[in-house]
Amino acid sequence: MNEITIACIFDLDGVLVDTAVYHYQAWKKLANSLGFDFTHAQNEQLKGVNRMRSLDKILAWGGITKSDAEKDELAALKNTWYVDMISKMSPSEVLPGSLELLQQLKDKGIRIALGSASKNSGLILEKTDLTHFFDAIVDGNAVTSSKPDPEVFVKGAELLHTSEENCIVFEDASAGVEAAIAAGMAVVGVGEAENLPGADLIVKDLAGVTVQQLIDLTEQRNARK
């Protein structure tokens, strides 16, 4: 039997857990406090986008200009509300199939990294009891450029001591799929195909994803190179 060399890098929000609902509530409260509304459709556009860039987009939608110092305060305020909500998360909020796939990978000795834009990933992983699955964690605290820049995934591969052609990224945001492609990695898009152009495989969630499927995907992709 061939030795398994693949490594997996997971986005967090929208792939392993659904935190978009909490981001929505916190951003909506902030927008409302500034005198305008914030919709679910706008929240969709913030998937994979880091905190400050999200705030810039929201202020632009509301037609509001703020200084850098004011923006820092607003982002901190939103984060206080968001952290209050995620502090109450529990393992029951892990998305379907995530635990099973992470366990299959662990059982087969396949290395696993987190590649998230969030600066709150440590707390979310702790509250949902997922921390122990990860050999490396790269999140918003560890990168200087955010998705679609490939930095988060390149760092993940480095920390797993592997190269990009062995890595498979799991992403629910188009900026994340773009980042993985820029890093030269295979991508499993989690969600709807029309929102995730360029993904090698699209799944609605991680339920039913097998390790063999991931090995085949990587081999086929590398053979095409």
Task: State the residues that interact with ligand BG6 by CB under 6 A.
Answer: 12-14, 23, 46-51, 54, 79, 116-120, 140, 173
Q: Which amino acid is at 179?
A: A
CB of 117 to Mg ion, least distance (A): 7
Q: Which residues are catalytic?
A: 11, 13
- Closer residue to ligand BG6 (CB): 112 or 142: 142
Residue 206 engages Mg ion in binding (rule: CB under 5 A):
no
Mark the segment that binds Mg ion (CB under 5 A) among 4-12, 97-105, 129-137, 199-207. 4-12
**DSSP for 71-92, written as a single string:** HHHHHHHHHHHHHHHHTT--GG
Handedness of CA 58, 198, 190, 106 (dihedral sign): negative
Rank residues 21 and 34 by Cβ distance to ligand BG6 and give the closer one.
Answer: 21
Q: How many residues bind Mg ion (CB under 5 A)?
A: 5
Rounded Cα–Cα distance for residues 195 and 132 (Å): 31
Nearer to ligand BG6, 23 or 111 (CB): 23
CB 173 to ligand BG6: min, Å: 6
Q: How far is the CB of 139 from ligand BG6 (least distance, A)?
A: 8
**Does residue 200 interact with Mg ion by CB under 5 A?**
no
* Nearest C-alpha neighbor of 158 from the set 141, 176, 174, 142: 142
| Closer Cβ to ligand BG6, 181 or 217, answer by number | 181
Q: First-to-last CA distance in the chain? A: 24
Indicate which of ligand BG6, Mg ion, none lies near residue 116 (CB less than 5 to 8 Å, by partner kind). Answer: ligand BG6
**List 6, 9, 14, 183, residue binding Mg ion (CB under 5 A):** 14
What does the alpha-carbon distance between residue 25 and residue 74 come to, in Å, rounded to a whole number? 15
Q: Give least dist CB 38 to ligand BG6, A.
A: 13
Q: What is the 3-state secondary structure (H, E, C) of 161-219?
A: CCCHHHEEEEECCHHHHHHHHHCCCEEEEECCHHHCCCCCEEECCCCCCCHHHHHHHHH
- The footprint of Mg ion on residues 166-185 (CB under 5 A) is 172-173
Q: How far is the CB of 220 from Mg ion (least distance, A)?
A: 25
Q: Are 114 and 9 in contact (CB under 8 A)?
A: yes
Q: Residue for token digits 């969709």?
A: 44
Chain positions contacting Mg ion, by CB under 5 A: 11, 13-14, 172-173
